[in-house]
Structure 1
Amino acid sequence: MSAAFNKVLMHPLAKPVLFVLALLPFAWLFYGALTNNLGANPAEYLIRACGDWTLRFLCLTLAITPLRVLTGVSALARFRRMLGLFVYFYVVLHLLSYSWFDMSFDLGDIVKDIIKRPFILVGFAGFLLLTPLALTSFNLAVKAMGAKRWQMLHKLVYVIAGLGLLHFFWMRSGKNDFAEVAIYAVILAVLLGWRVVEVLKKKRRLPLSFGR
């Protein structure tokens, strides 16, 4: 079964299809904005929808490795980089929507708002940490940095996931609406917990070393 999935995912059209699918939320939001079909408060809808899609793509990106290991579908690794870049794409849209619709691109007001409101500060910190990951997501960066340093840098994604969830939690806490927060918390806990278990398994398999 895994061989069949690998064959499908290795098809030259697999990446273009994923690219188009990942752009569909943006296309829908863009169409909704053009047709004034985003509800009573379209600005708030755009800001929150872009933030939601950032979290969704982050979960999808983090799910690639566990799915690859558990299913044996190694071709899934081909799509991790693209999904990671779409995380950055949607977080940039999230930040731009906030800067435009809430703050009218007033840099001074944006800085004051980031400092004043902890949930925005946490979200902005996540964006700042995500930026070097997006900039170094290409093969040339891996070669320039070396695989070990590159891997260490990209482990920041776990910190980013925590900041993203905290940002979402604080944002929803004002309305005491935690249902979606709980769903993302469970998903991320499972994805990150699986990694912790795998690290512990590897440590147990290491031979004992004396004299250190």
Structure 2
Amino acid sequence: MQLSRVNQWLLRPWGKPVLWCVCALPLVGLLVAAFTDRLGANPAEKLVRETGEWTLRWLWLTLAISPLREVASLPALLRYRRSLGVTTFVYALLHFVAYAWLDKGLVVDDIIKDVFKRNFIFVGVAGLLFMLPLALTSFNGAIRAMGGRAWQQLHKLVYLVALLGLLHFYWKKAAKNDISEVMVYALILAVLLGWRVMRKGGFKALWQVR
């Protein structure tokens, strides 16, 4: 009975606006901190780091929708998955813009050289590029135009994006000999992907469900 009531709440028309407001909170917090000079000794590094870590958090939450809706018997959660996916892309784009603007001064030549010089930058940019077609096809019209099967096949790129994001984070932290936080993210991702493998009884499950 209680789960049925939660599902009803999740289906309310105000559900998505509330989600968008929640998703905006970390960004608003960073902007407020920036305008009030509370980003610490290295504001640029803080903005780049925080937008990057929030990208991973939103991506992990996006991947958690399928396990949660089945384990918790909350099918209404599915209507929020695309919104979380778009949020992930927005934060990833902000992460790149913060790096390109605050670290490289929007000098294209310097950005390109840095991408090919540093592995973790290259992997991060690759992850963002793989996210682009997912963001561009995140609306109902794209599903109708592509067909459900092709759309689902394309959006399985989310698994590759997650792995690239984790590798990007690992290489960034490994350079500072600090991978404890990376291990937490890796464990959560292993659980999220492992659930998919176990659900279908093989690694091909990653290409069958989300």
TM > 0.5 = yes
Q: Kindly report structure 1 stretches of 4+ aligned residues shifted beyond 6 Å.
A: none
Q: Deviation digits for residues 107-148 of structure 1, max 9, x if unmatched?
A: 011000000000000000000000000000111101111111
Largest Rg, 1 or 2: 1
- 2:3 aligned partner: 2
Residue type of the partner of 2:185? Y
The separation in 1 between residues aligned to 2:41 and 2:166, in whole angstroms, is: 26
Give 1:199 deviation, angstroms: 2.3
Residue type of the partner of 1:77? L
The separation in 2 between residues aligned to 1:20 and 1:175, in whole angstroms, is: 34
- 1:207 aligned partner: none
The separation in 2 between residues aligned to 1:9 and 1:198, in whole angstroms, is: 25
- 1:177 aligned partner: 178
Residue type of the partner of 1:153? L
Give 1:15 deviation, angstroms: 1.1
The separation in 1 between residues aligned to 2:160 and 2:197, in whole angstroms, is: 14
- 2:166 aligned partner: 165
Local SS of the residue matching 1:130:
helix
Q: Deviation digits for residues 12-43 of structure 1, max 9, x if unmatched?
A: 21111111010000000011111110000000
The separation in 2 between residues aligned to 1:110 and 1:135, in whole angstroms, is: 24
Aligned pairs for 1:40-59 (under 5 A) are 40-59=41-60
The separation in 2 between residues aligned to 1:113 and 1:147, in whole angstroms, is: 38
Q: Deviation digits for residues 79-101 of structure 1, max 9, x if unmatched?
A: 00100000001001000000001
- 1:152 aligned partner: 153
Aligned pairs for 1:51-130 (under 5 A) are 51-130=52-131
- 2:133 aligned partner: 132
Q: Which runs of 5+ in 1 are unaligned?
A: 204-212
- State the percentage of identical aligned residues: 53
Local SS of the residue matching 1:27:
helix
Give 1:197 deviation, angstroms: 1.2
The separation in 1 between residues aligned to 2:4 and 2:57, in whole angstroms, is: 27
Q: How many residues end up aligned between the 2 structures?
A: 202
The separation in 2 between residues aligned to 1:42 and 1:180, in whole angstroms, is: 21
Normalized against structure 2, the TM-score is what? 0.94
The separation in 2 between residues aligned to 1:145 and 1:10, in whole angstroms, is: 26
The separation in 1 between residues aligned to 2:134 and 2:201, in whole angstroms, is: 26
Normalized against structure 1, the TM-score is what? 0.93
- 1:34 aligned partner: 35
